[in-house]
Amino acid sequence: MSHDYSTIPSELLASLGRADNLEQAAHCVTRLRLALKDPGRVDSATLNQIDLVKGSFFTGGLFQVVIGPGEVEKVYAALREQTGLAASTIADVKDK
């Protein structure tokens, strides 16, 4: 199945409390790992309905969005392109 990776970041950002709520983003094999200014702005119910999103949770100071292997890299690249965020490692995001 082909996905439109250009639309997914807009949907993610709307559910995450807009782009100004996002401090940093990185990814592992299956998840986006996000440092948020205000985790209370997240609409998890809407977020979990987005195409490709398999779930989400907050742990270790990071909000994590489960997307899956082979897809998360494409979503991360589209998110960075849309927001202008610099590339970050998981260690960078954890240190936020």
Catalytic residues: 28
What residue type is assigned to position 14 of the chain?
A
Instruction: Render 41-63 in DSSP notation, one character per residue.
Output: G--HHHHTTSTT--EEEEETTEE
Burial class of residue 75 (count of CB atoms within 10 Å of its CB; 0-12, 13-18, 19+): buried
